[in-house]
Amino acid sequence: MVTVHNFSYGLINPVLGYLVSCLGAFLGLRCLTRARAHDGRGRAGWLAVAAIAVGACGIWAMHFIAMLGFTIPGQQIRYNVPLTITSMILAIAVVGVGLFIVGYGDGTWPRLLAGGVIVGLGVASMHYLGMAAMSMTDGMSYAPGLFGLSILIAIVAGTAALWIGTWVRGLAATFGASLVMGVAVSGMHYTGMAAMRVSKGIPGMPGMQVIGSTASSFLLPLVFGISLVALLLTLVVSLSRTAEEIAEDARIEQRLTDAASRESIGRVTVRPAPSAIPVRPPAAPARPPAAAQPPPPPAGRPVPRPAGGGAGAPRIPGASGRGKSPRVR
């Protein structure tokens, strides 16, 4: 067996890894509080951001920051770049699956346990895939007991993280929960490292060639870039509206909608529905019958004159004195 050192630089790597893990957990939990206040695409977007924060920063970056302190005396360790990148993508993907299962669920324990198992197995796979990315002449194996314990810790940690994400809201509660999640992630990592057994290899044997990039040329810049992404996410989360502000805006918008609805109802003019039976226009009033004319008198009989010398009686000149000639004076 070959002696390995997990703390080659003292407490710098474990403490720094733990702080980065807490930062990723804190950002992920703050994203979850905003995701609960949204629906549809808004919720999906915040869940995706939470998966990046927890998977890339809280889990993967912590793992490789700790690996920067891992050395084997007299041995050069290199890292397979594609496998290392794949391990980071795997961490983000499994955390995202767990968050979407719980984020779009009804909060029941079956969904929570299913998401926790997926996240735990994914995180453990990420850890051991990252270990497989190490290239060295020595051989590696794992103690079955500690190997199984590390997977169990990952499942418990994943379930606890999802459960915390369903109820945590305030800054103080989020900060405390992130400290607990940092302990769980670090504990899983170092349990897996304790399970590793390194046996002496023979240089020059097939399969013992050291290929890949060194930690200083690949891991250090990559971890630094992930840290910058974490700071950018911190800025995005701090400038975004909180869950309380989102809920208050939704209530104000609902009240305005209700008020506009009531006003529109008050202005509605009620009109009778059009009748299916055609309505005929009213008929013109009938004209009164003409006055009956007296029949003409028989021939040879004088025409009677109206009494009083009406307008119809013939005038005789001089009868009224109006036809007389004026006197000559």
Who has greater pLDDT, 265 or 315?
Answer: 265
Residue 311 pLDDT: 47
Q: Is residue 253 over pLDDT 90? A: no
User: How is residue 36 written in tokens?
Assistant: 């609960």
- Please enumerate in sequence order all residues whose Cβ is within 8 A of that of 79, keeping only pairs 6 or more positions apart, or say none: 133, 134, 135, 212, 213, 214, 215, 218, 219
CB atoms within 10 A of CB 231: 12
Who has greater pLDDT, 10 or 323?
Answer: 10
Give DSSP secondary structure letters for 186-202. HHHHHHHHHHEEEE---
Percent of the chain past pLDDT 70, that is, above it, reads 78
Give DSSP secondary structure letters for 113-181. HHHHHHHHHHHHHHHHHHHHTEE-SSEEEE-HHHHHHHHHHHHHHHHHHHHHHTT--SHHHHHHHHHHH
Highest mean pLDDT among 29-33, 106-110, 237-241: 29-33
Q: In the predicted model, what is the mean pLDDT of residues 245-267?
A: 79
Residue 285 pLDDT: 61
Residue 249 pLDDT: 77
Residue 268 pLDDT: 54
Nearest to 115 by CA among 77, 164, 82, 43: 164
289 band by pLDDT with thresholds 50, 70 and 90: low
Element (H, E) at 79: strand 78-79
Predicted TM-score (pTM) of this structure: 0.72
Residue 207 pLDDT: 52
Nearest to 143 by CA among 151, 155, 135: 151
The mean pLDDT value of the chain amounts to 81
Tell me which residue has tokens 């794992």: 142
- Please enumerate in sequence order all residues whose Cβ is within 8 A of that of 309, keeping only pairs 6 or more positions apart, or say none: none
Q: In the predicted model, what is the mean pLDDT of residues 254-267?
A: 79
Give CA–CA dist 213/193, Å, rounded.
21
Residue 308 pLDDT: 47
Residue 328 pLDDT: 46
Strand 134-135 and strand 78-79: the pairing is antiparallel
Give CA–CA dist 313/320, Å, rounded.
13
250 band by pLDDT with thresholds 50, 70 and 90: confident
Give CA–CA dist 240/144, Å, rounded.
46
